[in-house]
């Protein structure tokens, strides 16, 4: 795997974040994630201003890996690059987005959950696919089934992942890392519960270590 994928895989979990108030919350959140041993964030465009949040998180924790999620158009890719974002995640597979991101030299994790989408992904230089929404699409059983004809891909499942099923997912060698919002819920962010976020990150990292021991 390339260096970015290796790093994400080593961390093992990717917080999927919706930040309604970037100026108020981005710095505190970045510090809380890093303190918990999870120096990575997928900041989604489900809230406008994701690019501002990315910039602020990178300014606060320059060594942190910060990318964008829920990217659905090329204008957002431009904004992410401008803000210093390091990767793009899209919920589905859109060849135009994949080509555009690759043309701009920013890694992209497009969402794929069917054999047809994996087929599409074969046409591009992709090592890791987002598998979204994971639990609702068949979960680990489907990921394993798809890995038989498509062993070249690792996946980053998101959707329905929590501390309860994290170990099961991470124990499967097809999984590069798991994404989730359980450690960065709206309640935790809006109420600035940074210590709780750090604790959830630490617990997640312990599970990553256990799963890979």
Q: Known catalytic residue: 130?
A: yes
User: Of residues 137-166, which lie at the interface with ligand 3PG (CB under 6 A)?
Assistant: 158-161
Interacting span for ligand 3PG (CB under 6 A) from 48-56, 80-88, 178-186, 202-210: 178-186
Minimum distance from CB of 129 to ligand 3PG (Å)? 13
- Best CA proximity match to 25, nearest among 204, 193, 179: 193
Angle at 129 between CA 128 and CA 131, to 5 degrees: 135
Tokens representing 86? 């390091």
Minimum distance from CB of 178 to ligand 3PG (Å)? 9
Minimum distance from CB of 109 to ligand 3PG (Å)? 10
Site string for ligand 3PG, 82-121 (x = CB under 6 A): ----------------------------------------
Closer to ligand 3PG by CB, 76 or 181: give it.
181
User: By rule CB under 6 A, what count of residues binds ligand 3PG?
Assistant: 11
Closer to ligand 3PG by CB, 22 or 159: give it.
159
Distances (CA, A) of 2 to 5, 125, 126, 176, 191: 5, 11, 10, 12, 37
Q: Known catalytic residue: 42?
A: yes
Cβ contact 90:109 at 8 Å: yes
Separation CA 65–CA 43 (nearest Å): 11
Q: For tokens 């964008």, what's the residue?
A: 68
Report the residue from 15, 22, 139, 179 that binds ligand 3PG according to the rule CB under 6 A. Answer: 179
Give me the helix-helix angle, 22-35 and 194-212, nearest 10°. Answer: 40
Q: Active-site residue among 18, 42, 58, 79?
A: 42
Closer to ligand 3PG by CB, 5 or 158: give it.
158
Minimum distance from CB of 182 to ligand 3PG (Å)? 6
Closer to ligand 3PG by CB, 22 or 67: give it.
67
Contact residues for ligand 3PG (CB under 6 A)?
Answer: 16, 69, 132, 158-161, 179-182
Q: Which residues are catalytic?
A: 42, 130
């Amino acid at each position: 795997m390339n260096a970015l994928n290796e790093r994400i895989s080593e961390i093992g979990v990717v917080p999927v974040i919706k930040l309604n108030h970037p100026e108020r919350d981005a710095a505190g959140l970045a510090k809380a994630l890093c303190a918990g041993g999870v120096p990575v964030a997928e900041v989604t465009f489900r809230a406008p201003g994701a690019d501002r949040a990315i910039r602020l998180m990178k300014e606060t924790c320059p060594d942190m890996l910060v990318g964008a999620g829920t990217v659905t158009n090329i204008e957002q890719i431009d904004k992410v690059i401008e803000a210093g974002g390091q990767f793009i995640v899209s919920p589905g597979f859109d060849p135009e987005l994949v080509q555009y991101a690759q043309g701009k030299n920013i890694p992209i994790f497009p969402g794929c959950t069917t054999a047809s989408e994996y087929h599409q992904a074969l046409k591009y230089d992709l090592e890791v696919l987002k598998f979204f929404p994971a639990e609702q699409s068949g979960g680990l059983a489907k990921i394993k089934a798809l890995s038989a004809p498509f062993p070249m891909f690792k996946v980053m499942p998101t959707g329905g992942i929590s501390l309860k099923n994290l170990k099961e997912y991470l124990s499967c060698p097809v999984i590069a890392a798991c994404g989730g919002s359980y450690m960065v819920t709206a309640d935790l962010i809006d109420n600035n519960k940074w210590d709780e976020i750090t604790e959830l990150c630490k617990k997640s990292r312990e599970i990553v270590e256990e799963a890979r021991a």
